[in-house]
Structure 1
Amino acid sequence: MKKVRCAIYTRKSSEEGLEQDFNSLHAQREACAAYILSQTSEGWTMLPDEYDDGGLSGGTLERPALRRLMQDIEGGRIDIVVVYKVDRLSRSLLDFAKLVEAFDKTNVSFVSVTQSFNTTNSMGRLTLNMLLSFAQFEREVTAERIRDKIAASKARGMWMGGNPPLGYQPDGRTLAIVEEHAGLVRHIFARYLDLGNVRLVTGALASEGIIAPERTATT
């Protein structure tokens, strides 16, 4: 029988109670360990490494134990990630989708012991696909809102960021004229009116040694 290496991941949002001899992280680990033991006939074995994040939010992926877990997954040392509940891994659908994508690349399954969620079977994968569909919907709706807001702001004459055009500099939500560049801009337009061709204007400016002035970005 093939040995299936299982890693338990636990997380608690607040630090309250972590100093106790038996806290939430221990309770989660015990429940996960019991579930793995119940699957011994399938070859499941619990890895001794502990991946515990105490006092850290599930809204971010910047967690020490989670980073170690992902490194071990990439290193091919884990076959199944076992958690007490789905939200112990992540409270963000977008982050959850990123994690599952990383799991898929290394053929790692994901199991929640208190919910009907197990990607080692077809029903669990169906549930996962539904969650990822909602995650994609959330991303697309958010992107649409941002695009609509930017378009509406631009229509009101507001500056929405990016590289300002030559002759201007950001001034809050508007653009202010840079006087030392304004003369150059007027000269370029005047040359275009004379020559009527952008390529000819470019060549003329190059021959005259006129180049774009240096500008320092905010970064």
Structure 2
Amino acid sequence: MSIDKHISVYLRVSSRSQDTATQRPDLERWLAAFGADTEHVWYEDRFTGRTMQRPAWSRLIAAVRAGEVQRVVVWRLDRLGRNAKGLTSLFDELPRLGVGLVSIKDGLDLETAAGRLMANVLASVAQYETEVRAERVLAGQERARRQGKTWGGSKPGRLLSLSRDQVDAIIRLHGEGEPKAKIARATGVSRPTVYRILEQHG
């Protein structure tokens, strides 16, 4: 029996303080123009793009692998993630499964060699930008330390704005045996925060 395939629309922002309002209008216009006759399902994450292990994305890729998805649509490629290795693997997998990918702002088509080349270039750029930002933050903190500045009086690892998804990811990655430093990088928190979460959850 054939499965009625849908269009998966994916939105992502990096934190709970952000919203997807800037992404939705373009996605809705695209659906009205090119996907009006096809069922579409929206997936939304508020999670760092440095890891592909995100709640909504995990549901979407499971639907892809189950043969339920005709096409994945995103506002811009970096909404899929900022992990070059994960994105490159995805760009290989989608065409193999017969699933298209549309990036509205980037004008990408994975069905062409030029589109696949551009997708991989943009994936590398997205990861590079993330690493440069992280280096700038660390450099700024080091300058502040040399100038004798400190960061408030909160206890290291205090949960200031951690989402439920981040907590779940920390626990899951720890259970999978990942090093705490890697967990911190993947979930966008400090190592003391990772330790505190794991202490609180046994």
Please give the TM-score of this superposition, normalised by the length of structure 1: 0.49
Structure 1 residue 114 displacement after superposition = 1.1
The sequence identity of aligned pairs, in percent, is 27
Secondary structure in 1 matching 2:79: helix
Aligned to 1:39: 34
Aligned to 1:12: 13
Bigger mean CA deviation after superposition, 104-113 or 86-95:
104-113
Q: 1:136-175, CA deviations, whole angstroms, 9 ceiling, x for partnerless residues?
A: xx9xxxxxxxxxxxxxxxxxxxxxxxxxxxxxxxxxxxxx
Q: How does 1:10-89 map to 2 (within 5 A)?
A: 10-17=11-18, 24-40=19-35, 45-47=38-40, 49-54=41-46, 56-89=47-80
Contact kept in structure 2, 1:4 and 1:44, CA below 8 Å: no
Q: 1:63-103, CA deviations, whole angstroms, 9 ceiling, x for partnerless residues?
A: 00000000000111111100011100011111101222221
Q: How does 1:42-191 map to 2 (within 5 A)?
A: 45-47=38-40, 49-54=41-46, 56-121=47-112, 123-128=114-119
Higher normalized contact order (CA 8 Å, seq sep 6+, divided by chain length)? 2
Q: 1:96-123, CA deviations, whole angstroms, 9 ceiling, x for partnerless residues?
A: 0122222123111111111121224554
Alignment gaps of 5+ in structure 1: 18-23, 139-219
Alignment gaps of 5+ in structure 2: 129-202
Paired positions, count? 123
- Quick one: distance in 2 between partners of 1:131 and 1:16? 26
- Quick one: distance in 2 between partners of 1:125 and 1:33? 25
Secondary structure in 1 matching 2:118: helix
- Quick one: distance in 1 between partners of 2:98 and 2:37? 15
- The structure whose Rg is larger is 1
Contact kept in structure 2, 1:36 and 1:46, CA below 8 Å: no
Please give the TM-score of this superposition, normalised by the length of structure 2: 0.52
- Quick one: distance in 1 between partners of 2:77 and 2:92? 15
AA partner of residue 81 (structure 1): V
Taking structure 1 as reference, are residues 35 and 121 closer, same or farther at Cα in structure 2, changes over 3 Å only? farther
Taking structure 1 as reference, are residues 44 and 96 closer, same or farther at Cα in structure 2, changes over 3 Å only? farther
Secondary structure in 2 matching 1:25: coil
Contact kept in structure 2, 1:33 and 1:46, CA below 8 Å: no
